[in-house]
Structure 1
Amino acid sequence: MNKEIYTYLRTRPELINFIRHNPEWYRYLSRDPNRVSEIEMEAKRFYGKTISQKLEKVNQNVQMVGMLLQFAEMMKD
């Protein structure tokens, strides 16, 4: 792997962890170091950090709070 890429990855522990879980990326980055931006996007998907994944999580939390409020209202009566 290119020394510059390795140095960059060492500053981003989540990328190193992603590569450990997906070892094919060692090969991809060794052959084409310009795929760093691609690995960053894949790591975001892996960790659930994309905007759509965050919105989905917020939506689930709002639904959960709504259900808890309904349950609390039922218990009151």
Structure 2
Amino acid sequence: MRPEIIRLLNENQEFRLFVRQNPQWYRKLSRDPSALQSLEKEANYFYGRTFPQRVERMQSNLGLAMMMMEMLKMGQDTVAQTQETFSS
């Protein structure tokens, strides 16, 4: 493998870990050093950094927050009803 590719992998720990988990990239980079852009795209997809993945994660978190808000609201309603029952 070319020294500049080895240096890049040593400088960027995420790329290095990605290549270790996907050994076919050793061969690809050794044969075609210009495949670094493809490596970056694949690594971003692997680590969930693409725009659609971020949007999906945000929607999931928002849905979870909305569900928690509904649960808290239902809990407050239940407490209010219980207090009304005891005060009557």
Deviation at 1:8, TM superposition (A): 1.4
Letter in 2 for 1:3: P
Query: Which of 1 and 2 has greater Rg?
Result: 2
Letter in 1 for 2:12: R
User: RMSD of aligned C-alpha atoms?
Assistant: 0.6
Letter in 1 for 2:17: N
Deviation at 1:18, TM superposition (A): 0.1
Other-structure match for 1:75:
75
Letter in 2 for 1:30: S
Report Cα offsets for 1:20-57 as digits up to 9, x if no partner. Answer: 10000000000000000100000001010111111111
Other-structure match for 2:86:
none
User: Would you say 1:48 and 2:26 are equivalent positions?
Assistant: no
TM-score by length of structure 2 reads 0.85
Letter in 1 for 2:42: E
Across the two proteins, how many residue pairs are aligned to each other? Answer: 77
Higher-RCO chain (CA-CA 8 Å, sequence separation at least 6): 1
Letter in 2 for 1:40: E
Segments of 4+ moved more than 2 angstroms: none
**Which 5+ residue runs of structure 1 have no aligned equivalent?**
none
**Which 5+ residue runs of structure 2 have no aligned equivalent?**
78-88
| Percent of aligned pairs sharing the same letter | 39
